[in-house]
């Protein structure tokens, strides 16, 4: 599977944990954490963008396009923001903008504040409660009438609950450790996500001059974010790009990983 990991930008594909969500670089050089973060940011901004702005959704921090039952309950649609092979799908059969409830839960570990704001608003609108769910919803911009599908389907509810659970401190790490503790699961995972040579900053499967250039371009940066570590240049993840990182890179100079 070549980049990007999603065909049409559907959050169902890129964030669903089976049972862990990818955060590594795969054998085709897709950086899943970077791609997931970029896709989550695009989803959050979708209805705030001038090309497809929806004032109600934008003002109330409502977002999310993922595969789901349609708001009228008659169909199933792979809603998404668009990808390499197909365009976006964000309208229902009546040309109304759609939001899918479980999306922000699946991406909540990456965007916890945005997810919390959305769920708080859904509760305030009376759409979400211990007895109600929002499988999907659409909005008539002329009347501000909301059409919500309260389906409590087991699969999307599971993804929704799983997403929130994985956003809790320590849970994702524990699940990942248990996953890799099963030999066959670990072997299958490593066939798709082979170990990355320390110093392979650009995800090319080799430590070379391109990585050296990236290290140099971020030399002496401080306060590297724990998700991207200064675009990978902070190799030892100590929040600083310095001689310790350079030493690791040169210790693995010209190391490669197989497809």
164 and 63 part of one domain:
yes
For 14-54, the pLDDT digits (tens) are 888 888 888 887 877 777 888 889 899 999 999 999 999 99
Cα–Cα distance between 55 and 36 in angstroms, integer? Answer: 25
In a domain, 176, yes or no: no
Q: Over range 80-87, report the average pLDDT.
A: 84
In a domain, 6, yes or no: no
Q: Token digits for 51?
A: 């090309």
Taking the CA of residue 203 as centre, how many other CA atoms within 13 Å lie in the half-sphere pointing to its CB?
Answer: 18
Cα–Cα distance between 131 and 125 in angstroms, integer? Answer: 14
121 and 166 part of one domain:
yes
- CATH number, residue 200: 1.10.1330.10
Residue 131 confidence (pLDDT) = 86
What does the mean pLDDT of the chain come to?
88
21 and 129 part of one domain:
yes
The answer, as to whether pTM is greater than 0.85, is no
Work out the angle between the directed axes of helices 183-192 and 171-180 (0-180°, nearest 10).
Answer: 100
In a domain, 180, yes or no: no
Residue of 110, 14, 31 whose CA lies nearest to 67: 14
23 and 75 part of one domain:
yes
154 and 245 part of one domain:
no
Sequence-distant (≥ 6) Cβ neighbours of residue 233 within 8 angstroms: 201, 214, 215, 217, 218, 219, 221, 224, 241, 245
Q: What is the residue range of 242's domain?
A: 195-259
Residues in the chain: 259
For 159-180, the pLDDT digits (tens) are 999 999 999 999 999 999 999 9
In a domain, 188, yes or no: no
222 and 142 part of one domain:
no
Sequence-distant (≥ 6) Cβ neighbours of residue 153 within 8 angstroms: 69, 135
164 and 101 part of one domain:
yes
225 and 140 part of one domain:
no
Place of tokens 């030493």: 247
């Amino acid at each position: 599977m070549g980049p990007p990991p999603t065909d049409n930008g559907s959050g169902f594909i890129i964030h669903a944990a089976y049972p862990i969500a990818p955060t590594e670089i795969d054998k085709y050089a897709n950086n899943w954490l970077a791609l997931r973060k970029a896709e989550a940011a695009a989803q959050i901004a979708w209805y705030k963008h001038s090309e497809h702005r929806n004032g109600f959704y934008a003002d109330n921090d409502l977002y999310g396009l993922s595969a789901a039952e349609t708001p009228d309950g008659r169909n199933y649609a792979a809603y998404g923001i668009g990808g390499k092979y197909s365009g976006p799908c964000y309208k229902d059969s009546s040309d109304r903008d759609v939001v899918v409830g479980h999306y922000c839960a699946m991406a909540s570990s990456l965007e916890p504040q945005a997810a919390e704001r959305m769920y708080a608003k859904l509760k305030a609108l009376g759409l979400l409660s211990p007895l109600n769910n929002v499988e999907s919803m659409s909005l008539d911009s002329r009347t501000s009438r909301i059409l919500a599908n309260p389906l409590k389907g087991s699969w999307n509810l599971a993804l929704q609950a799983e997403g929130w659970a994985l956003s809790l401190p320590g849970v994702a790490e524990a699940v990942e450790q248990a996953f890799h503790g099963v030999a066959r699961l670990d072997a299958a995972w490593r066939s798709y996500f082979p170990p990355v040579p320390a110093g392979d900053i650009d995800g090319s499967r080799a430590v070379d001059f391109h990585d050296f250039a990236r290290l140099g371009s971020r030399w002496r940066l401080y306060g590297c974010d724990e998700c991207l570590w200064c675009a990978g240049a902070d190799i030892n993840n100590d929040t600083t790009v310095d001689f310790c990182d350079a030493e690791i890179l040169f210790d693995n100079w010209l190391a490669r990983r197989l497809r």
